[in-house]
Chains A and B, each alone.
Chain A
Amino acid sequence: MRLEICWKTCDGKSLAKEEFMKVRWTALVVMLLVGIAAACSPEPVNEASEREAQGGGDGTLRLAFSDNPTGGIDPAVFLNIEGEAIILSVYEGLLEYAPGSNELVGSLAESWEVNEDLTEYSFTLREGVTFHDGTELDSEAVRSSFQREIDIGAGPSYMLADVVEMETPDPLTFVIRLKRTNNAFLHYMASMYGPKVISPQAIAENERGGDLAKKWLAENAVGTGPYRLDSYAPNDRFVLKRYDDYWGEPANFETVDIAVVPDIGAQQLQLEAGDLDVILHGVSPSQVEALEANEAIRVESFDSVIRQIILINPHRPPLDDLRAREAFAAALDRDAAVQGVYGEYASVATSIYPRFTLPADMAPVDYSSDASVPDGTDIEITFPNVEPDLRRLAEYFQPQLEDAGFDVTLRADTYAQEFGYFRNLEEAPNAIVSTFNPDAAHPDTWGRLIWHTQGGLNLLGYSVPESDRLMDQARASTDMAEAERLYAQAGEAMSDQRLVIMLADAQDLFAVREDITGLEHTPAYIWTVNLATLERE
């Protein structure tokens, strides 16, 4: 008897085994296509093996950005954080901060002198510095870069707003005069957003219609830094190559490959697989343990100027009333929330100013109060939708505030929405849990930014004339001890109004492959480390 394997149609008709086999083979062929695609790959294991083969300090360092640098990488325009790693590697300013501190040290300037009223600054430039296009750095290049930034007038240009005159008495001397005393000026020169020096030849060659090469420099770069920009593919990949004629210590890696990988989970998988060497930001403290469970990964943390805060809206009831704001601030158990969310990777803010901007014992925070609100006082608190840590902070505060009589509604908004609150302050949320950083390690770049009436990040329309007056007075002081005292008083005048509640000083976290060493971090340059000092063991 012949054994016949059949499959049946819906009306019971049988198909022969051969028919069945044909269909099954067709399905198998399709499934094999997937395998063929993998098999025909030039590197079927993973992309890390290629780098391992290269070995040594040379080779490729692989990093990721979670986003495209907003508006490109022209240092005269750039005023964000993502992309700063490129700008600080490709360009240099006159000054910089020493690693791990707020100490000003020379970068393109070897030394500098300042007159008594802090209105005239004379910088002596380094000799033998060349741009990536081979031209030499001189004082005229510095002057033209500064003038270009002033002429473009984009965000960072505020740092040069007081400039009235620039002189180049000789190729290595650059003199700049201000219309008024500004004791933050040298810190502007070291800021991550501070003026950088661009090759005048590159600007001249790529200027179109009087645009000062703004369009070209959004996606190209010719600076003096340890790396030169090799390619820039927006939304995709940026490649830096070591600049062999760099005046200082040469970079260890020959190539830095920066891919745009928006999803932090995907970045972590790539780090674990060895396709990524460092995660520059986005590592949440709650993820540290899981990451370090992998022996090939470690997390390094550095003190930074990053500060978590709550901005309170004084234009919308009930927090338009000072007593209600005092009750709000007093109800917050900041220690529990900061410990719960950040653990060892942040500390409760004890000063109104972030670390490295003012001595820690000045402008102390004190939110104690006996003020209270009636039970069921409705308030709405928002937090940025892309910041899980801030959402957790808000969730910690919700029951604490409800115990004090507030009825709290939490909502996630985009940063763009936050920046638009000022359009209708009466409808804006009662409070915003958010995170900010000063532009430099100087108190003026914190207070003036966040709560001064003219502040660029004064999102909720604050105006505390006494604080403004003290801050203006502080900036105009030629005695730094006196200036610090005035900044502290300006902060206290603001704090008395309970408009900005200081929460935490957070650390900058980096997840790193175990074989990567040489992490050199500067507190005021957040979300990045010095790429030139990184090396592979």
Chain B
Amino acid sequence: VLRFIATRLLALVGILWVLATITFLLQAVIPGDPARTMAGPGAPDDVVDRVRDQFGFDEPIVEQYVGFMSRLLQGDLSVSVHTQRPVTTDLSTALPASLELFLSAFVLTLVVGLIVGLVTATPRRGTALIRSTLILGASIPNFFVALIALLVFYARLRWFPSSQRLSPDLAAPVGPTGLLVIDGLVAGRLDVVTNALWHLVLPAVCLALAPALVLARTLRSSLRSALAQDYVRTARAKALSERRVLLKHALRNSLNAPLTLTGLEVGAMLAGIAVVESVFSWPGIGLYTVRAIASSDFPAIIGVTLVIGAVYVIANALVDLAQVAADPRLRGSEGR
């Protein structure tokens, strides 16, 4: 396990360095003037020049890169061009919002994917319809799902709010996690917990829908293969209940592919979070990223890229561990 962790940590450092370097180089080649953006569109040239000098935008690219990497190693992600606050401050504000949304959607993905996969694994009337529904659901882009959800569940039915994490009349409890549901529980504020859950429903469902259905399809396919295996026939011959056969024997042997897919879906969800946060005005890193890109705010883009890269690598490491736990045959190969 130690070897596994060491390998993944090393990979994490390497990946983050590559990401930081690529994003830095993009800053140099993409047209745009961060100094002008920072100074404001109508600022006189001397003011823009002062900003350029202050943030080192006029230094040679190699010097900028060396300075950038040395600041990065000290945890300094520089100042956002758009907000003019330290990127670390921006990220510390935005990350809990995204984390809460991501974790909710991730749990929803696993629960829905597992249940739908299990329910549809065995053929019965309407299987073709269910399969078509899964394919359709998994192929609808999340921005479309988000817009439909807004139109139906907010504009038409008025069941859920359309934006933000909390109603304006409620004050969010301070800390410790920045995740409103948890902080509300810690502070004993059930009004905050229920209100935060109410605000979470639509964005979390929109973010989770496609990954959950993809997961369900994969699980369904794996289960159908497993249910045709000899060991399943043996288990049934022992007169085990069908539920026990499905959950204790077939499911465990079918988890490898869905778990691998879950790791990949984490990436898809991290990409989708920008869209969902934009539509639902969710003040997280997705929305922060969209604004950063629109204003060529490279310090912010680099910060977001590193955070998302780290989350992706860590999530996939956890998936690898889950795979090892589900399939003992993989033990011993986890460090490779």
Contact = CB atoms under 8 A, between A and B. Distances in A.
Interface stretch (B9-17, B132-140, B157-165, B302-310): B157-165
A262 B278 contact: yes
B84 A239 contact: no
Contacts of A40: 194, 197-198
B34 interface: yes
B295 A415 contact: yes
B160 A38 contact: yes
A253 to B, nearest CB: 13
B320 interface: no
B291 interface: yes
Interface string A444-482: 000001000010110000000000000000000000000
Contact of A456 (B45, B194, B233, B290): B45
Contacts of B48: 456
Interface string B109-145: 0011001101101111000000000000000000000
Interface string A422-457: 111000000000000001000000000100001011
B34 A416 contact: yes
B155 interface: yes
A261 B281 contact: yes
B227 A155 contact: no
Interface stretch (A9-17, A95-103, A394-402): A9-17
A233 B42 contact: no
B294 interface: yes
B323 interface: no
B159 A44 contact: yes
B94 interface: yes
Interface stretch (A65-73, A205-213, A357-365): A65-73
A10 B198 contact: no
B151 A414 contact: no
Interface centre among B50, B83, B116, B241 (most CB of A within 10 A): B83
Contacts of B119: 23-24, 27
Contacts of A155: 39-40, 42-44, 47
Nearest to B171: A231
Contacts of A43: 167
B37 A70 contact: yes
Contact of B31 (A50, A235, A265, A417): A417
Interface centre among B38, B162, B232, B290 (most CB of A within 10 A): B162
Q: How large is the interface on B (under 10, 10 to 19, 20 to 34, 35 or more residues)?
A: 35 or more
A38 B41 contact: no
A236 B84 contact: no
A416 B296 contact: yes
Nearest to A449: B42
B263 interface: no
A158 B44 contact: yes
Contacts of A236: 164-165, 283
A416 B122 contact: no
A423 B115 contact: no
A454 B45 contact: yes
B198 A80 contact: no
Interface residues of A, number: 84
A392 B119 CA distance: 50
Nearest to B191: A42
Contact of A273 (B40, B116, B155, B169): B155
Contact of A234 (B90, B154, B296): B90
Contact of B82 (A37, A70, A158, A266): A70
B224 A10 contact: yes
A417 B41 contact: no
B201 interface: yes
Interface in A112-158: 153-158
Interface in A36-54: 37-38, 40-47, 50
Contacts of B234: none
Chain B contact residues, majority secondary structure: helix
B112 to A, nearest CB: 7
A416 B40 CA distance: 11
A236 B294 CA distance: 18
B169 A50 contact: yes
A260 interface: yes
B102 interface: no
Contacts of B115: 26-27, 30
Contacts of B106: none
A196 to B, nearest CB: 15
A13 B84 contact: no
Given A42-B195, A47-B168, A78-B40, A68 B281 contact: no
A239 B167 CA distance: 13
Nearest to A20: B124
A307 to B, nearest CB: 14
A13 B36 CA distance: 71
B287 interface: yes
A338 B88 CA distance: 45
Contacts of A10: 121-123, 224, 227-228
B33 A11 contact: no
A273 B34 CA distance: 38
A34 B162 contact: no
Given A38-B160, A421-B31, A423-B31, A456 B41 contact: yes
Contacts of A37: 197-198, 200-201
B264 interface: no
A277 interface: no
Interface of A: 7-11, 13, 15-16, 19, 22-24, 26-27, 30, 34, 37-38, 40-47, 50, 60, 62, 67-68, 70-72, 77-80, 153-158, 161, 193, 218, 233-237, 239, 257, 259-263, 265-266, 269-270, 272-273, 275, 385-386, 413-417, 419-424, 439, 449, 454, 456-457
24 contacts: A8-B124, A10-B123, A15-B242, A19-B241, A30-B112, A41-B198, A42-B195, A44-B198, A45-B158, A46-B161, A71-B83, A71-B84, A157-B47, A234-B83, A237-B168, A259-B164, A261-B163, A262-B281, A266-B150, A270-B162, A273-B158, A416-B36, A420-B31, A456-B47
Given A161-B44, A385-B294, 19 more contacts: A8-B122, A15-B243, A23-B118, A27-B116, A30-B111, A46-B158, A72-B83, A79-B40, A80-B41, A154-B40, A155-B40, A158-B43, A262-B291, A270-B162, A413-B31, A414-B293, A417-B30, A417-B31, A456-B48
